Structure 1
Amino acid sequence: MTLYAINSSYSHITLLHKAVGDNNYKEAKNLINLGENVNSICHYPPKKYKNNTNCTALHLAVSKGNKKIVELLLKNNADINIEANCLDSDEDPKYSVVQEYFNRTPLLLAIAQENKEIVELLIKNNADVNLKTSNGESALGLALKSNNKELIEMLLTAGVDINLHSENVTSLHWAVANNNYAVAEYLINHGSDVNTVCHYPPREFFNTCCSPLHVAVKNQNIKMVELLLRNNADVNVKANCDETTPCYVPMRDYFNRTPLHIAVDKEDKTIVKILIKHKADVNLTTKTGETALGIAVKKKNLGLIKILIHADAHVNSINPGHVSPLYLAISREENFRVLEFLLDHGADFNNIVDFGGNLIALNKYDRSVKDVIKRHIIKLEALSLFSGPYLGIIGTEFDIFTKNCNEEIEKLKKFGININKITFFDTLTMCQHKLAMKLTHVNEGNLALLKKKAKLTFPLYGELVKHHLTKAARRKKLLIKANITLTNIFKSALPNTFLREMYYYFSNQDLKLLKIKMASKSENYSLSGSSLHSAVFKNNFRLAENLIMRGANVNAMEPYSLWGRCNINCSPLHIAVDLKNEAIIQLLLKHKANVMIRTSSGETALDIAAMAAIHDNDEIIEMLIDAGAEVNRPSNNSLLSRTIFNTKSAITSVLTRYNLNDKFKSVGRFCNLFMFITISFFIPSSPFITSISY
């Protein structure tokens, strides 16, 4: 039985709604005892809105914050998860705002009002914590949005789905946006994806999107940035992430920005250093072709420019508008120190152009800028390294400077830097690759001394010498790593002289790519499989431990992609060994992981350790053998032959110590292995390789 109010101002609402709206507990109880339907939905307040607002008596009691009436209704079988288009208050919002309140449960309403007592009461009475409004707002999303830590804790304790999006935004985004470190850490440790890119802020701008790392960098929250990076956040992820998106700024200027672009834009040196330390690519561009260095030059921030160039930022990068960092420096007033630094660190003045691709006219710039440029031209001309169009602009006022340059060059020719009779003058005129090959017996320690000596001894050319030494030393380091890698790959198949000649054709980027390909060879997994498999893949020790404590099967076999081969059934131990995560390997072995279980293609964990192409796995192999792995089992491709193929002397010695039988020392099909490795790791951009057929 439903009784409607007879007062004209309350027509079409129940007497129970009126009693609850008046906070009249006694009347509400009497009406319920008379059989009033506690789940009736009607417009309240009546006739006030034309926007389909409505509610149940329970919604109304929650909105009034009347815990006593809420308890009364729940005791009398009020539907705790019933949805209605209920407002927070009696105020009359615009229709667009009213839409946000469509299909709200009493719990969502209580969270929106941040009423802890009623939220707790509803959860105790089994309210569904995972329901959403028609607009996609979730209970956890609402709590995170308001950053109400007590409500967040209640919902997490109640088992809310942490991966449920709210307004198409992840819970982790909300936690990071509100600088809530504890909640962000909890979410990550319980499996939240740190690399999801979604619209944030929701609905505010159609094309804006970002990852949690973008949000943390925008907030300049160092602790949060470090938390995300520790948990494998992609440091180079691109998104259409804005600052404030004022109406006069074209949105495309913010397209495809990395966290580094934002950090430089914020002029946050600490976060820039952290991102670079975690392998941020300093040369990635936005959709409009802007680099981090270009942003720093626009900001006239010499400190950031130094950090980026020392991290190998391309000082001569030119965007689609034909604009280089050098042009940006010249075109900004009172920027001569930045200009001077760029010129001393390799900025090429021979090809400087304006937005239209035309050579710039120096006459329109102030004297300090012109003087810096003229002095640099004189320095290059003295080295016979300048053939640009500005030779005729040097006046007699620079005669003394020209004389000083010539005298310093003669000194540069007399200072040797190593036993190969390389002089400081050679560092300025020799190509980078040749200089790198000549820098034998130059380590990081004496390199620092050489650079310091150059700066103190040669006031005019010291910075240029330092820069050339730094670039050559960086290439030398890449060449050493490449030599180790390619020697391991080709071994005796190619003579060392051929390998040395081959390096000439590799750019620094090629050498880095070769290193990345080799280092990430065993990281090519699909993310299917059990939660434990995913936790191991993400190197998340705490999550793996939690899952095991909750009964996860450490020997579960799930289809993953290993070494570029799809759908290989493997265990968490296979993945942990391939990723060389000793802590997780020990954890799995401690909880009875089967060391002899094989992948669907026949490999044990010990096989995988022995097949590693570039890492020394002797400690892991000992760990597996101590746990019962068999080294003397027959195989088409024995453990020792695999270690021979991979030139792993340390691993071979470990296996030999454990009495690997001589009869299994087969050399295998070397030719097939050679071709497989070549195909797997060649770099298409390198001119010395045209095609390889297997």
Structure 2
Amino acid sequence: MEAKKFDPATALNYESSKNEAEHGHKYQRELAFMLFVRVALKGYKFKLFTELPEAGKFDDVAIKMIAILKQLLSMERVLLMISGRKHVQQQLQQLSDTIRFVNLVPFANKDQLDFLQKFWDVSKEDETTMAKFYKFAKQLLKTFHRGIKRSQYDFTGVPLMVRMLAEVYVENVEKFLQTDCETDGENYLPTTGFNEVTLYEQFVKKSFCMKMRKKFNLDAYITKQSFDGELKALFDQNTLEYQLAAIKELNIKELDDVVQEEHSNTYEEFLNRVGNGDDKSLLINTSGKTVRFVHLSFAEYFTAKCLCDYIERCKHILYPILEKQLVVRKFFFQLIEEISGETHTKCLGVLNKICELTPSVAFWACEAVCVNVTKSLFEHNALQNIRIDDYGTILHLAVSIDSREIVEYLLEDYGMDSNIVSNTEINPLADFVRNKQEFPEHMSIDENITPLIWAVYHGHANIVSLLLNHNADVNAKSNSKLTALHLAAQYGFLEIADVLLQTNKCNGNAQDEYGRTALHFAVNFNHIQIVRLLMNHSADLKLDLNAADSGDNTALHLAVLRNHTEVAKLLIGNPSVDINARNEDSIVPLHLAAEHGNSVIVELLVTRKASIDVLNSKKYTPLQKAAEKGHTNIVKILVANGANIKYTGKDTPLALAASSGNLETFEYLLVLVSAAEEDNAQIQQDVLWKAVGLDRVEIVRKLLDGYSVDVNDATGWGSTPLHDSASRGYTDVVRTLLDHGAVIDSRDSDNMTPLMKACNAGHEAIVKILLDKSANPNAQAFCQFTALHYATYSGHLGVVELLLDGGAEVNAIDDKQRTPLHLAATGSHEEIVKLLLLRSANQNLQDSNQDTPLHLAIRSQYTECSEMLINERTDFNLQNKKRWTPLHVAIRYERNKIVPQLILPENLNLPDIEGRTPLHLAVDKKSVENVKVLLNFSPDVKLNAQDNKQQTPLHVAAQHGNSEIVRQLLADSTTIIDVQDNKQQTPLHLAAQHGHSEIVRQLLAVSTTIIDVLDKGHNTALHLALQHVNGETAHLLIERSSKLEATNRNSETPLHLASQAGLDTAVRALIQKGVHLNPRDRMQRTPLHLAALRGHVDVVQVLIDNSAQVDVTDRNGRTPLKLAIESKKDDVDGDFHSTVRALTDAIIRSFPLFRYTPLSRYEKLQTIVSEHLPRSVYELFYSN
């Protein structure tokens, strides 16, 4: 049965509809989007048109969508185009640094006129009608754009607004078209202020009227009837229903809770009508009982209207809603600005109370260009010095929205300082990208700017004039020292620049943090009118036309660097401009013009007598820069004006012309150089090297054909042009050199031939050319590498095949006795190994380390090469200098897959240079698998073989703690458990020393195990366990040992070591076994001494409780108490405070028993206490 073909579009529609029932309409878009991503990642060609969540709706699903977007953007084959309103762009930008935006400007003025003409069905055939149409439409659009600025429709777009205009004014245009030609169209246009809210209100009313007319079977476009009382009641009801639908669509839960409580039945009735198909409108789309507005801005408009209508109920939730819903916020403030009466007063009252706590409200009113609301909020709140992120001060905000009325109010009535500094940021980079302008090397986000700088940045000329009239500082600087004039020059605002200069206070020489003046900016961005304006004011401004930035670049440098010819002409034509000015790299404008090939500028500079042979910091003249770029016309101009062609050194103009590859430039200079009187042979020779190194074959041929250049010229390293071109892979140059007598087997200082160079680099075509020309394939370099060694080492299969076909010795050896097969095996060049073996390479040859290719392949972890050599009957018993066979290497480097193939009876027990058999190595690597393979191979495996340390595999396993391997070894009855190594230690010693309790159990479980064997230090296994503080292991041995009081070479018993280690449970166990409490070690110390010395208070207490002697002295006459006190003074780790207290208490308790002895214990105790205990303790004891 043929599988059903996957259809992405069908799957998308199915997924959307299926999940709608489960999740509701809210998530339909998101689920569809996720399916789209799955489809896209599978490589299907697929288109999806979807809208992104709006502000305030970035829920969990939306965040996941953003995560998927990031993943898509990381894929090279994906080009993702997202459309979204400006505030959505800003939120996306915050979520992902990889998302970048391009602002499109759809529906230009001509498109708007075309739309209106088609919508109103105006015939293009009737010229008179079209003339009247244009008259009306242009006046309407002018009113529209004057009333609604672009910043206010960034969330709706021009197309939607023009669509609403067309609908609202369809009747007006019909009436106007019926009038005579002289009638003024303004009589049919809005007579009052035209703004966004007005347009929405008119469109909403128009759509309602159309709905009503259709409902009563009337023509929807009949002449508008009066909006009488009955119709108004229906309209208010319709508005309420749409407000409820809007709140649902925007998912504003807090508002939904407030309004639905009263109007839940109203909304249900509305949905029922929708479900029955009884409610149709221009504003909504319906599907079943689901309602969505045709554009989200309608939902936002109705939500804002709801907030106004229910302001008293909403006052406690108003601020968070306005904070999240940007578009709702703008509509809300504009509605308050337009309405009057009681609702207006209530709204202002609520806003003023909120503004007392959160000044942002006043900024929002200003942002929405609501003059009256802004003034009202400012009359009741002191806000002039408030700064808010993303806004700055209120004055900066008013400037940015180009509201002259608000700015004027703030300056004149509110008394704000026109020079107040804000934390508002300027980001020039965004503007450069949007305007497709190049930008200087140093540009960054700026802050702390004045309203004047902010006004210039936004290009608001009328605001600039207003600020200047209110004493704005024309020379104020931002953090990066940018002035208003800098920005005007940067963005090409000619009118603003002129206004700034007319103040006669403007500092035209002001420099930003990188030393750039306004002239630098104007020149850099090719604003020639501003350049001309600045130069016209150069006298009264005392403008320095040669001002240099931090890189010592003048304006002329920038003009030439950017190739702005007309600007450069303007500057060069001014006699005050220094045409020979040098920047920090000693580059003059002529260098730049020559490099960029601008002959017009070069001619102008030369005419102004610019220095012709001036050197930059790299010692290049303008002629050299022109020659390097192959600008023949520039070269000719410079030479005609006396440029020196005889420059010495390797980078002569001729050599640079050769490097450019421009044959015309090269031939022109070559003729001039050859005609010179002095010897030019070396110059030509240097040029040959330059041309060879850059694959300029025509220039190489030109030199070799017509001039006396040495084709075999060698560098200090012995390299010839043929070496150089062969290593670079320049096929045509190699042929040309050979055709002109190049020595094919010439040697460089490393004894390498051109063939070796080509083989090392893998240039097959050149290798073939050289072999065809009888190059020696078996010549040897300084390390006795042949060409085949180089090709094999570098992994060039095609070259290897060419060499073998050309007679290369397949078993050639280098100075380390390595054949090409050794190198191929080391580098895992599988195909080369296969080819070499096919061509009779000897796989058993050993290098200077006695490694065969198989040894090297295994060590290098290349299984394919190893298996290939194994299958070629390689001798598995060959040993290298470590006496490792391939089996040893495979086990040591854990190449488990090939180990079984390498085992032979001959190498199964073969020891290496350290006496280790393969089994030793497998155990050492803790490889259970390899141990098992070796044990299962043959009963002849030597389980008790001893290496140079006399250790058996069991020793190694016990030391490393691998209980499974120990189990495998003990499973063989021939394993000897108590073998002693060169330290006389058994496996039990090693397991105990390293704390491997499980292995100790395994060894103790064997009946033949001797537990108390002594090593060279006379330590039993128990001694070692206690020395290394392995408590669990020690307990196992205490239970089984019969020599619990055995002493080592330091006369230490297990009790000494347990006390020293602080193992109180082991001490108790030993005491329970009946060991003596006061044995002496070589220092005459008892276990109590050692416990006290380390501050092990628990052990001290156990020993004291079991009647250990507390006053016994060691060889140096120190008691346990004395040792504890000294250790405390030496900052030894341990609880010495508690140890001293325990010992003191023990001494005090023992005093009455010894009061009348010849040497009174009282006197001893008195001495100890007086010398070592605090005075208070001594007095307490003495008084008793």
| Fold shared per TM-score above 0.5 | no
TM-score (norm. length: structure 1): 0.42
Higher Rg of the two aligned structures: 2
Using structure 2 for the length normalisation, give the TM-score.
0.26
Q: Greater relative contact order (Cα 8 A, min sep 6): structure 1 or 2? A: 1
